[in-house]
Structure 1
Amino acid sequence: MRSPGGEPERLQTAFAASVFLLVVSALCLLPPGRRARAHDGAKGPALLEVGGEVKPGSEPTAPAELKVVSYNIRYRAGDDLKQLIKLLKEDPEIGGAQVIGLQEVDRNKRRTGNVNTARQLAEGMGMRYAWAAPPDADDDGEEETGVAILSVFPLADVTRVLLTHEGPEGRRRVAVGATVQIGKTNVRVYSVHAETRMPVEKKVEHWQAVLEDLRLHPEAAGAIVLGDFNTIKGKDVKAARSLFTREGFKTPFADDDTTWRTFVVQLKLDWLWLRGLEARSSGIDKEIDLSDHWPLWAEVRLPKS
């Protein structure tokens, strides 16, 4: 979706984008201010949580197609979270998805009222969920923001994948993986939130951590890797495309399909990768403005069991 505009507007957008990328590039080169103080969660609350349920009698039958959504919700809470639940149920584009991958999903953080966001979403939608977070790098008593998978189908073999390499000040990022059991068909799904301020070579190793976990699940008939990859530069986008294509994945979205915006700058940060599955239709819902990201969706044909 492109908005019309004249030459002055295009020049303004190009200039703003150039300034933005220069600032981000400079930040990427800054060394961490202190050593990492991350822990593995053993002394604090478990950083992997699984829960939720589907009401008895509402267990869905295995469909021929699966609707999937990916959305960085930017730690929504309160009325925004209620609106998000309504959209995920009723919106003509993202509504009715059976599998949802979310990023920046808080648990026990002051900014979101110390609530369990993944659990609230799952309860509001009658879905199962898996949530994971990285270790706390701040020692401030608050958890880092996490990632989640919501599903109307059973979740098995849930894993928390700590992504390779530290970001600024010892910050870590994670993915959560789960095998979605759709009748007799197993689909392995990952929700990923990658680091922003990191050289592209380390970002590739970041994403490879997810693919390494996927290799431990050869029984899956298909795989979905989605989320916020933070591909802020053109070379990041090309690297993501190269890596996942080489691993046999396809995506229905082009490299210039933007998924994030601030002021006049728009970037492609979010991805939805498929292997062993075919996207029948897809889109980016740019009418939804709850976050600085836009949600991606795809209707996927499942392999025959």
Structure 2
Amino acid sequence: MRGRRAAAAAMLVLAALVFTEGLVLAQRSITLMTWNIKHALGCDGLVDLDRIAQVIEASGADVVGLNEVDRGFPRSGMVFQARYLAERLGFDYAFAPAFAVATGSYGNAILSRYPILESWTVALPADALSEPRSAAVARIDVGEAVLSFVSTHLDHKDARIRRNQALRVHEELQALPNPKVLAGDLNAWAVTAEVTLFQRVMNDAHTLYRMVACTDRVTPERLLEDGYTLPSTAPTSRIDYIFLSPDLRLEEGAGGYRVLPTVASDHLPVVATVRLRPEGWDDL
């Protein structure tokens, strides 16, 4: 009898440990960033990639989507910017060129503190007169799950082309398993068709933040409340987004969603901290 009681007690302890471990994993936070870095050209006219790295490092970001990233361009010193930043930060990286020139290419990148298991480039529709665009897609091992992360940059001139590009990104997202994140410069306001396409199937991190933390009061934090990211010196537009699948929960409090002030680019970086919400664990 004593042996059975001891065995039962041991099983209870083991169950508690398993449950506690699951709780720890479920409560692990992941900090995401999206930023159009304009090949590290700051508002002061300086191309300074180390300044970009410093902003990312100070933010505590774990997974970063970058737009307007150079590889082998004279204007940015012929540097492969995604690789340079990854090595500087100790991150893994993936690069998705949108177009190539004689010396190199230009496009989107993903940097990750966690291992990137696989990555690929999605070419987005364009016409002969528009700039080619792409989406970078990565599957990232974040420990308790594999995160699908998409970083993209849509056309800035033609709404018709932008909508077609959004449809292609949406198609790619639909094929990816949860949890998943879409991040990037969509060059469109939240009320446009190309943005509402994503809002119907994913949660806008800024909207979640406003629901939890903000009111309509005019405060010194209005920049954060509105989520404006462009131009970085006096922002009046929100065109940079982080969208989350429903199984990702935005962290509550000041760290849940942030727009970071910097002159390192013409856009401001957007940061969101999330937790994985396993099915049936809504109270975590």
Do they superpose with TM above 0.5? yes
Q: Point out where structure 1 has 5 or more consecutive residues left out of the alignment.
A: 1-60
What secondary structure, in the 3-state scheme, does the structure 1 residue paired with 2:98 have? Answer: coil
Aligned residue identity for 2:91:
M
Q: Report what 2:76 is aligned to.
A: 112
> Against the structure 1 CA distance between its residues 83 and 262, is the aligned structure 2 distance closer, same or farther, given a 3 Å change threshold?
closer
Question: 1:108·1:142 contact (CA, 8 Å) conserved in 2?
Answer: yes
Aligned residue identity for 1:206:
Q
Report 1:223-238 matches (<5 A): 223-231=180-188, 234=189, 237-238=191-192
With normalisation by structure 1, the TM-score equals 0.69
Aligned residue identity for 1:252:
H
What secondary structure, in the 3-state scheme, does the structure 2 residue paired with 1:190 have? Answer: strand
Identity %: 28
Question: In structure 2, which of residues 53, 62, 71 is the aligned counterpart of residue 85 of structure 1?
Answer: 53
What secondary structure, in the 3-state scheme, does the structure 2 residue paired with 1:86 have? Answer: helix
Q: Report what 1:257 is aligned to.
A: 227
Give the helix-richer structure, 1 or 2: 2
Q: Report what 2:151 is aligned to.
A: 191
Question: In structure 2, which of residues 232, 257, 262 is the aligned counterpart of residue 282 of structure 1?
Answer: 257
1:204 paired to 2:163: yes
> Against the structure 1 CA distance between its residues 184 and 289, is the aligned structure 2 distance closer, same or farther, given a 3 Å change threshold?
same
Runs of 4+ with >4 A deviation: 253-256, 262-265
What secondary structure, in the 3-state scheme, does the structure 2 residue paired with 1:122 have? Answer: helix
Deviation, 1:283, is: 1.2
> Against the structure 1 CA distance between its residues 112 and 282, is the aligned structure 2 distance closer, same or farther, given a 3 Å change threshold?
same
Aligned residue identity for 1:230:
N
Question: 2:99·2:107 contact (CA, 8 Å) conserved in 1?
Answer: no
Aligned residue identity for 1:122:
A
Q: Report what 1:273 is aligned to.
A: 243
Question: 1:187·1:223 contact (CA, 8 Å) conserved in 2?
Answer: yes
Q: Report what 1:123 is aligned to.
A: 87
**Structure-2 separation of matches of 1:193 and 1:206:** 9
Deviation, 1:170, is: 4.5
**Structure-2 separation of matches of 1:244 and 1:123:** 32
Q: Report what 2:67 is aligned to.
A: 103
Deviations 1:196-250, CA, capped at 9 Å, x for gaps = 1112x431221121221223323xx31110111111xx5x743244211222333
1:299 paired to 2:256: no
Q: How many residues align?
A: 230
> Against the structure 1 CA distance between its residues 170 and 282, is the aligned structure 2 distance closer, same or farther, given a 3 Å change threshold?
closer
**Structure-1 separation of matches of 2:149 and 2:56:** 18
> Against the structure 1 CA distance between its residues 263 and 115, is the aligned structure 2 distance closer, same or farther, given a 3 Å change threshold?
closer
- Greater C-alpha Rg: 2
Q: Point out where structure 2 has 5 or more consecutive residues left out of the alignment.
A: 1-23, 211-224, 280-284
